[in-house]
């Protein structure tokens, strides 16, 4: 990504609360994920459960080498570090196929408006750096039938409220409807107000959320399992600080978290990012 494109993307993110990485994943990668989904659901569902658990959590622990590209996308991590600094940790990787709903029941509704984990109600209009960001990817085009993503642009900087419980599932007058393509990634600020749309396509809508927060915060995924720890050891062998940091291993966190802060943050981030890259052995 060129510096110019990076600056444009940062400006867009700060103003709107999101940016879209077009074509982040190709058809072969997406098909491999979809092919594995049913088996992951089976393994994720307890034997005594009354129905399958469609939301696969800790997906990286189940399928580490298949799902690692969803977590360790270099272009997205480069951008995340420009937004939050070199402090990016994986909160969770969730994989799901949303079932189709009857069209007559879904007509005129949205899934539900919300801000994400570690978000807040803004009192703006100033931009505040996020404590977490979501990298959302759909594995098919978001047509009206599959159900597009809806966002209220700038709601990470404005106190946009939802007046009642009933309004949580109704279209918002200020919404922007994002009919993104398969393999695009929508990268959102944790305080951006957004909602899905019911899927009425007659087919599953495949989706995954790679949720990042600041290293040191609690995570929903447990990174201590054997699969993730094998990735950590692989990263340690190459001194890949960024990959280790995704799973909470950051030997530089103490000096960087207590760096006196006498220079602009972005200047310090550039220095630390350069240090991390220089330390990486090929």
**Cα Rg for the chain, rounded, in angstroms?**
19
pLDDT digit string (tens) for 165-211? Answer: 889 999 999 999 999 999 999 999 999 999 999 999 999 999 999 99
Q: Looking at residue 2, what is its pLDDT? A: 44
Specify the length of the chain in residues: 282
Q: What angle do CA 265, 267, 269 make, to 5 degrees?
A: 70
Q: Is residue 224 scored above 60 in pLDDT?
A: yes
As a whole number, mean pLDDT of residues 123-152 equals: 96
* DSSP assigned state of 11: H
Tell me what percent of the residues of the chain surpass a pLDDT of 70: 98
Q: Looking at residue 124, what is its pLDDT? A: 81
Sketch out the chain's domains with CATH numbers. Answer: 14-71+89-228 (2.60.120.620)
Q: How far is CA 90 from CA 74, 160, 189, in A?
A: 14, 28, 15
pLDDT digit string (tens) for 246-259? Answer: 999 999 999 999 99
Confidence of residue 83 (pLDDT cuts 50, 70, 90): very high
Q: How many CB atoms lie within 10 A of CB 165?
A: 8
Structure tokens at 231: 């990735």
Report how far residue 140's alpha carbon sits from residue 202's, in angstroms, rounded to the nearest whole number: 13
Q: What angle do CA 81, 17, 94 make, to 5 degrees?
A: 70
| 5 vs 159: which has the higher pLDDT | 159
pTM, two decimals, is 0.95
């Amino acid at each position: 990504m060129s510096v110019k494109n990076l600056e444009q993307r940062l400006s867009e993110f700060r103003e709107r609360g999101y940016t879209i990485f077009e074509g982040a994943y190709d058809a072969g990668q997406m098909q491999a994920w979809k092919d594995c989904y049913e088996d992951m659901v089976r393994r994720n569902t307890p034997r005594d459960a009354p129905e399958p658990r469609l939301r696969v959590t800790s997906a990286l622990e189940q399928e580490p080498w298949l799902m690692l590209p969803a977590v360790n996308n270099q272009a997205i991590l480069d951008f995340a570090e420009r937004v939050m600094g070199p402090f990016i940790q994986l909160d969770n990787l969730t994989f799901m196929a949303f079932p189709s709903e009857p069209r007559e029941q879904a007509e005129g509704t949205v899934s539900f408006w919300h801000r994400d984990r570690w978000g807040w109600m803004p009192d703006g209009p100033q931009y505040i750096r996020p404590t977490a960001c979501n990298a959302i990817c759909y594995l098919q085009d978001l047509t009206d039938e599959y159900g597009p993503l809806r966002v209220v642009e700038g709601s990470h900087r404005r106190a946009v409220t939802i007046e009642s419980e009933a309004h949580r599932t109704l279209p918002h007058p200020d919404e922007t409807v994002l009919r993104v393509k398969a393999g695009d990634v929508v990268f959102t600020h944790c305080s951006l107000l957004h909602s899905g749309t019911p899927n009425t396509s007659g087919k599953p809508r495949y989706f995954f959320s790679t949720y990042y927060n600041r290293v040191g915060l609690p995570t929903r995924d447990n990174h201590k399992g054997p699969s993730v720890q094998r990735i950590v050891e692989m990263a340690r062998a190459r001194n890949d600080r960024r990959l280790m940091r995704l799973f909470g291993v950051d030997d530089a966190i103490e000096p960087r978290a207590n760096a006196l802060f006498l220079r602009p943050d972005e200047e310090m981030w550039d220095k630390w990012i350069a240090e991390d890259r220089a330390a990486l052995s090929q």
